[in-house]
Structure 1
Amino acid sequence: MDYSIHFVFLILCSKCIAVNIRRLDVPALVELGTESVTLDCDYSTGVTPGPGLVLKWFFNGSTGLVYQWIPPMQPQVIGLLKGKVDMSFKISEEPLQAYRAIKIMNPSTLLSGNYTCVVSTFLEEDSQTKSMLVYSPGKDFHFHQEKKYVFLVTLICAAEYLYPRPVMTILSKGKPLKSAVTDMRMDSWGMYSVETQALVHDDDVTSPWEEFVCVLSLPLANYTVNRTTIYYPGLMPTAHIAAIGVEKPQEHQANNSPTLGRCTLLLTFLISLNKVF
């Protein structure tokens, strides 16, 4: 028997039935509130599909099976994704490709993690992994002043319903205030609330007014937003003065000028002063 011919035949035969994941599509970032997100595992089964084709999706490791499809049967959703997948969704009309993808409805932050697609037959197996982060930009993000004493002002910046762990900084002339103190809390759902306070003395403000910026960021989500407030030293104690100027994520607004800030702040101050007297 010619073993070399037999060996070549085995190589060619293995290529005919080889399983290969060509592309794994898992969105890296998904904003909380997104209606749906699709995870796709595009694979090839070779010229002649091998027997026993099985597609599985795992969440955060080999013990976290969340989806299984054995053609020609209907797919099964297991564990964390149960009740969250559109079972009628088909990404292809080909019998061996139809249910390779999963369409997740209303993804929550709890679905952040690593997703692994495993495609196997009785003879071959291939797998790939990618991560997805469902982030929450938060709500009720505000930055205001409270002046209870003649020569001191407290800057207060706060936001809630954030994910993942946020970073909050109050800047003066582009540098973090050393007096700033941050309090961060996490609720039972894993969502964060954060508040940063900084005490500023009038003697530390060397100009007629100073602009302070509160920067809120989610580093893992590459998300940043800020609020701006302008303080005038020497003002009498008042009710809190709200921040002005909003900066969209990763953008800068040209109309956030000191002149506009002074007008808005003076108007707020006069209204507050009128309430006091």
Structure 2
Amino acid sequence: MYTECIAVNIQRIEVPPLVEVGTEAVILDCQYKTNNSSPPGLVMKWFFNGSSGLVYQWIPPLRPQVIGLLKGKVDLDFRISGEPLQAYRAIKILKPTTDLSGNYTCVVSSFIEEDRQTRPMLVYSPGKNFHFVQEKKYVFLVTLICAAEDLYPKPEISISAQGNPLKQAVSEMKMNSWGLYAVSMKAVVHDDDVTTPYEKFTCTLSLPSANFTTNRTTIYYPGLMPTAYIAAYEVEKTHERHSNGNLPLSRKLTVQLLSVLISTRFVI
């Protein structure tokens, strides 16, 4: 008796849990069955984040309608089945963006009964311009700088040496108008803290909700001159090669460099 009263029943709902930004398309499918070849008042709907977020509606044999958040982002010609009561049960979302992250609910109803199921989908962005660099303004100090932008969801970042996070590292995070995050972290390291000829530092960037992790490494050699002086040295050296061929560094430049290093030590 109870079985005869149920006109529609959702067997399975397929929603990809993780989608990377840049994916061409994703398909959300709601597989259902009816115990009537033509159940009266059959309506198939998709909701985003609750019953107030209707985004898709199909009333056979009419064409489907896209509403609200998904308008202009769905392939309305996509048919997942040749059967008249199953053809447009799925939605094909084109180039999904991070704002489409949320819970998707499929609702199939008739005049007799209704059934629904919900699944989450996270559209994540691994970001861009992820870099990890050294900045040396003083003789015995180096600043490690790690940064990335256009990340989603909220990222986590750390700088470590030999597997141990640097306690002195300070992070900063901002969100733009599109809801994407930019994150940076800085850590100042003194040469005295490096007890080996060189130290390998690792910056780890992760999106815990998306199960995504990546990293960058940099190797620091204690005792190097400040970055600006090294750059000036290289410019002068290049200029000298262009002017005089492969001549050694001039005595004048040597004196200048020594003067710089001596004055720097007095400043410190």
SS at match of 2:89: coil
2:29 match = 40
* Of 128, 151, 170, the match for 1:139: 128
Partner residue, 2:2: 11
User: For 2:205 and 2:226, how far apart are their aligned partners in 1?
Assistant: 27
In structure 2, what is the equivalent of residue 74 of structure 1?
63
Cα–Cα, structure 1 residues 103 and 239, in superposed 2: closer, same or farther, change >3 Å? Answer: farther
Residue 211 of structure 2 aligns with an amino acid whose one-letter code is N
CA 1:73 to 1:83, structure 2 compared with 1: closer, same or farther past 3 Å? same
2:234 matches 1:274: yes
Letter in 1 for 2:96: P
Distance in 1 (CA, whole Å) between partners of 2:93 and 2:232 is: 50
State the Cα distance separating 1:50 from its structure 2 match.
2.3
Deviation at 1:27, TM superposition (A): 0.3
Length-normalised TM-score, structure 1: 0.82
2:235 aligns to what SS in structure 1? Answer: helix
Quote the Cα distance in structure 2 between the aligned partners of 1:168 and 1:22. 41
Instruction: Measure the CA separation in 1 of the matches of 2:63 and 2:187.
Output: 58
CA–CA distance in structure 2, aligned partners of residues 60 and 117 of structure 1: 11
Deviation >6 Å, runs of 4+: none
- Residue 58 of structure 1: which of 47, 61, 66 is its match? 47
What amino acid does structure 1 have at the position aligned with 2:215?
N
The letter for the 1-side match of 2:43 is V
Provide the aligned C-alpha RMSD in A: 1.6
Q: 1:239 to 1:19 in 2, by over 3 A?
A: farther
The count of corresponding residues between Structure 1 and Structure 2 is: 237
Instruction: Show CA shifts across 1:137-170 (max 9, x none).
Output: 1111000001110110000001011111111100
Q: Distance in 2 between matches of 1:176 and 1:132?
A: 32
Q: Give yes or no for the alignment of 1:127 onto 2:116.
A: yes
Shift of 1:40: 0.3
Per the TM alignment, residue 49 of structure 1 is displaced from its structure 2 partner at its CA by: 4.1
1:214 pairs with one of 186, 191, 203: 203
> Aligned with 1:87: secondary structure?
coil
Which digits, 9 at most, give the CA deviation of each residue in 1:194-213, with x for residues without a partner?
Answer: 11000001111111100000
Contiguous gaps of at least 5 residues in structure 1: 1-9, 241-268
Q: Partners of 1:13 and 1:31 in 2: how far apart?
A: 43
1:178-231 alpha-carbon deviations (Å, 9 max, x no partner)? 010001000000011111000001111111100000000011111111000000
Alignment TM-score, normalising by the size of structure 2: 0.85
Structure 1 match to 2:100: 111
Matched, 1:153 2:142: yes
Q: Distance in 1 between matches of 2:36 and 2:214?
A: 52
| Residue deviations 1:11-38 (CA, integer Å, cap 9, x gap) | 3522xx5311111010001110111111
Q: Which amino acid aligns with 2:33?
A: S
Secondary structure of the residue aligned to 1:144 is strand
- How far does residue 46 in structure 1 lie from its aligned partner after superposition? 1.7
